[in-house]
Chain A
């Protein structure tokens, strides 16, 4: 059976429960669902945050995520994958991104969800700007996020690039 995949970039909020149900209803081979939701925090350390604004590269963002969903499908025995990433202004407590992976067993669902999030942080063309009392600043990329994405590279591939 073909793997059911959905990638969406949208300004509007999403419904994790409804999106999950779309992947699992009417089938008896789904044994494990992993959902990840990234939420806008209300503070960075001790500094309160008024909002995050997410900018993206239309067209490339969808293509990059779809490419990584396809890679996840080729690496793990998945039944379904949904990735939804929001853009625009998002206030603390609101959802930013969701990843749902469905498989017959939990190992694949967990691994694929983590793989997709690690790549979303470092390769998908989205940029976060944070609004604080003192003004707006762009969030800087973290070396720890790069390291998290690196570990998914196949052995020998890193050296070839």
Chain B
């Protein structure tokens, strides 16, 4: 699946997107965040406070307990500040 990062999540990880295959036991958005946080210092920094991280699957907002099976694109970003 493709992961995309925006704003300070992107800056902390150091790249805007990547293709990734998480282990099969990573079933939800929250579990994916926890797994990503263990991939290195930059990921640990980006996901140090999972409560503030927002996620979208296939360009729709989702909650942390949403299952990721079948997702083509998952994006992580801080709370929005547009307008």
Q: Quick check: is A155 within 8 A (CB to CB) of the other chain?
A: no
Chain A residues positioned under 8 Å from B8 (CB to CB)? 138
Q: Quick check: is A97 within 8 A (CB to CB) of the other chain?
A: yes
Chain A residues positioned under 8 Å from B6 (CB to CB)? 55, 57, 125, 127
Chain A residues positioned under 8 Å from B77 (CB to CB)? 57, 125, 127
Contact B83 A120 (CB under 8 A): yes
Q: Quick check: is B1 within 8 A (CB to CB) of the other chain?
A: no
Known: A55-B6, A57-B4. A138 touches B81 (CB 8 A): yes
Contact A140 B59 (CB under 8 A): no
Distance between Cα atoms of A61 and B79 in the complex (Å): 14
Chain B: number of interface residues, binned into ranges? 10 to 19
Q: Which secondary structure dominates where chain A touches chain B?
A: mixed
Bits for B51-83, please: 1 = Cβ < 8 Å to A, else 0.
000001001110000000000000101111111
Distance between Cα atoms of A115 and B81 in the complex (Å): 16
Chain B residues positioned under 8 Å from A139 (CB to CB)? 81
Distance between Cα atoms of A120 and B82 in the complex (Å): 6
A interface residues, how many (CB within 8 angstroms): 28
Interface centre among B4, B8, B79, B80 (most CB of A within 10 A): B80
Distance between Cα atoms of A122 and B79 in the complex (Å): 7
Interface centre among B6, B7, B60, B78 (most CB of A within 10 A): B7
Known: A55-B6, A138-B7, A138-B8. A125 touches B56 (CB 8 A): yes
Chain A residues positioned under 8 Å from B83 (CB to CB)? 38, 85, 96-97, 117, 120-121, 124, 126
- Subset of 14 A-B contacts with CB under 8 Å: A38-B83, A57-B56, A60-B60, A85-B83, A97-B83, A120-B82, A120-B83, A124-B80, A125-B75, A125-B82, A126-B81, A127-B6, A129-B7, A141-B80
